Amino acid sequence: MPIALNERLQRRALIAIALIGLAFGGLLYATGHVIPARWLWAAGTVPVVIGLFVSMVRDLMAGRMGVDAVAFVSMSAALLLGQPLAGVVVAVMYAGGNLLEDFAVARAERDLKSLTDRAPRIAHRRRGDSLEDVAIEDVAVGDTVLVRAGEVIPIDGVILAASATLDEAALTGEPIPVTRPKGDPVHSGTINAGETFEMRATASASESTYAGIIKLVTAAQTAKTPFIRLADRYALLLLPVTLALATAAWLWSGDPIRGLAVLVASTPCPLILAAPVAFIAGISRAARRGILVKGGAAIEALARTHTVMFDKTGTLTVGGARLVAIETAPQQSADEILRLAGSLEQASHHVVAAAIVTTARARGLLLSQPAEVKETMGSGLQGLVDGRDVRVGSFDLVYGQGRPPPWAVRALRRASWRSALSVFVSVDGTTIGAILLADELRRETPRAVQNLRAAGVERIMMVTGDRAESADTIAAALDLDAVLAERVPSDKVEAVVVEQRLHPTIMVGDGINDAPALAAADVGIALGARGASASSEAADVVILVDQLDRVSDAVAIARRTRRIAIQSIAAGMGMSGVAMIAAAFGYLTPVEGALTQEAIDVAVILNALRALTPGWRFGQQRLQTAASRALRQGHTDLQACLDRLREIADALDEASADCAVPLIIEANELIARNIVEHERDDESNVYPRIAKILHDAPGLVAMSRAHREILHLSRLLSRLSNGLKTEAVDKYLIRDAQRVIESIESLVRMHNAQEDDIYEQAAAG
């Protein structure tokens, strides 16, 4: 609830006048000058009454009556009844309450304001061999821009230097700087935490990430919540009740001062202050978590959420082609398959080609330059790599009408199970393998769904334009309540409207095609980590970091904020009611009633500001972010080992005894050297630390059982492989070894994912 600067100055002037009147009047009264003292007290009250009257007239012209009416009546009555001291005390209390509101709002807005204050305005543009400082609005797409150490990156672009070290905390909330290689995108608003580097602009200033964030911040600061307006409607009940009680006290006691005391004690600052302070504090708290909420209306709607609807691609999933597996023909190498495919795919701009090339380079494979490349749109490519004829593409491109061998049938079957795209690779007419690519779940998606249920969301759905088979696979993994597949944007809107008729509904999406559904929902939440887009503009809440679990954070923050606002109003008005009754029975004079009301106001504001914090958890420790990241990096380091175990298990399908022995021995060595040591370290060193933080002994006991199962399976494989000779190997031994290897590989992957969730939870506190 932003307040204009001139209005804040007026409030400061009014409190100053009221304080001067009260103080100097008190001095005159103490020295025996009673009449001048009364005039000074009245002089300190009148400007506040006039200012309040103007404010009330403005509210009435806007079609509403605010809760300030009771304060106006009490001050006016004090002047009319010859009680200027009570009047000036109420004036100080009322004007002081407004000043406290300004302070609270400014405190809560600080995190939002810090985003706009640090917005870059100048860019160092290169022109030939020289540099010129220009306004960021003058930078065009394609311009080369120099970013010096410590500067905020002015616009979106790509890195031209070998690498750049960036502090992305303003956008991602991650405090540790990251190093980005040449060609990586950089977003405006991040800070150059390393050496000076050059970048090429890929967006204008108005279309860059930070400009989009500032627009969203502005929208968040200017919106006003219906919940706050609800406080104004309480005045319709509060004013007649107060007047009736004051009149009854006057008639019962025969003393009009008794009625004035009731009016003074009823000044409704809790209603005036509690809701706006709490909601702005909640918005500020969300901003610190990388969640931009466009005003209190969104907070109020979030707090009432019953149903959450997710888009799939790019929201529940990573939104791109990712390597799932490499299926190899007998006697072929997975790395060589990927290297040849990556080399040829360098000639294509297709999203699948980019994924294969990126994966090959990430594995450190040396790609060759392709020649004589021919691309068949929708099928794949053909060309020369290292003088060999290589084909990469669909099953039909590689095999034509030929009958596939058993390993290729297996690859197609596994691709179907995983809803993956199969890219076959052939060399000189012989198919050597298939690369399986799929849009996989985000790592944090299961945790996000669990946290939403823990936050009280009753129904979680997925609505997607993808085919039903793929959608059902994702839904089964997440235990969703309903799946709506093969829906175009208009169908998504219709689905949202249907759910809205039943319960308050959130829609979460990331793409332009999600914008209509986001706008139609009670609350639209956009994953806007890549900057302003149609979905971000249409949404009520924008997640600025690429973390889906911030959706559950937004719901939890909203519910806590609304709960604090209601608590503040209820407690404040309850205490005011007690003070009014005490005044009606003569236990409080008008001045004492005003002082009592001010104490209530301060308590209400302090309670409302609790929405700035995540809440106290006594005795709870947190795992340091760096420690959590290191633990999860240990799992990342195991991926190459697990991938190799999967390749070995696949190779054992048709392996002869001569081939099976070295594969089984290699698998045993990999497991003993990497996995067993990792699990033992977790059990002896990591889990005791985590147990002190989580206070969840049963949960960690279950995780320890997984350690024991992994170690048990590793011992079984060790028995099989120790002293293994070719002549002792038959198909049953190979099958047993294959089952053990597959079990270890699958169990470790699932166990690592569960541990990642635990480490995230321990770091969140």
Residue positions annotated with a catalytic role: 311
Q: Which residue has the tokens 């279950």?
A: 702
> How far is 380 from 376, CA to CA, in rounded Å?
5
Sign of CA dihedral 170, 172, 175, 178: negative
Tokens representing 430 are 């012989």
> How far is 436 from 746, CA to CA, in rounded Å?
17
> How far is 441 from 449, CA to CA, in rounded Å?
12
> How far is 407 from 392, CA to CA, in rounded Å?
17
Sign of CA dihedral 197, 199, 204, 206: negative
Residue 450 has phi, psi (to 5 degrees) of: -65, -40
Are 194 and 164 within 8 A, CB to CB?
Answer: yes
Residue 335 contacts by C-beta under 8 Å, 6 or more apart in sequence? 363, 365
Residue 102 has phi, psi (to 5 degrees) of: -60, -45
Three-state secondary structure along 299-319? Answer: HHHHHCCCEEEECHHHHHECC
Are 294 and 219 within 8 A, CB to CB?
Answer: yes
Tokens representing 132 are 């010129």
Choose among 86, 96, 97, 81: nearest CA to 25.
86
Are 459 and 309 within 8 A, CB to CB?
Answer: no
Q: Which amino acid is at 601?
A: D
Q: Tell me the sheet residues that pair with 126.
A: 131
**Cβ-count burial 127-160 (b if 16+ within 10 Å, e if not):** eeeeeeebebeebeeebbbbbeeeebbbbbbebb
Distances from the Cα of 258 to the Cα of 90, 249, 317, 734, angstroms: 15, 6, 67, 96
Tokens representing 637 are 């380091």
- Quote the Cα angle for 1-49-296, to 5°: 10
Based on its alpha-carbon atoms, the radius of gyration of the chain, rounded to whole angstroms, reads 34
Q: Which amino acid is at 22?
A: L
Q: Quick one: which H or E segment has residue 693?
A: helix 687-694
Tokens representing 113 are 């304001």
Choose among 99, 83, 95, 98: nearest CA to 262.
83
Q: Which residue has the tokens 């905020």?
A: 152
> How far is 719 from 453, CA to CA, in rounded Å?
45
Q: Quick one: which H or E segment has residue 625?
A: helix 625-637
Choose among 200, 209, 217: nearest CA to 123.
200
Q: Quick one: which H or E segment has residue 732?
A: helix 731-764
> How far is 400 from 232, CA to CA, in rounded Å?
74
Tokens representing 336 are 């060589």
Residue 313 contacts by C-beta under 8 Å, 6 or more apart in sequence? 319, 439, 464, 465, 466, 511
Residue 181 contacts by C-beta under 8 Å, 6 or more apart in sequence? 159, 162, 163
CB 338: neighbour CB atoms within 10 A?
A: 22
> How far is 574 from 580, CA to CA, in rounded Å?
10
Note the Cα 480 to chain centre separation in Å: 20
Q: How many CA atoms lie within 13 A of 46 on its CB side?
A: 7
Q: Which residue has the tokens 């799992």?
A: 635
Q: Helix, strand or coil for residue 132?
A: strand
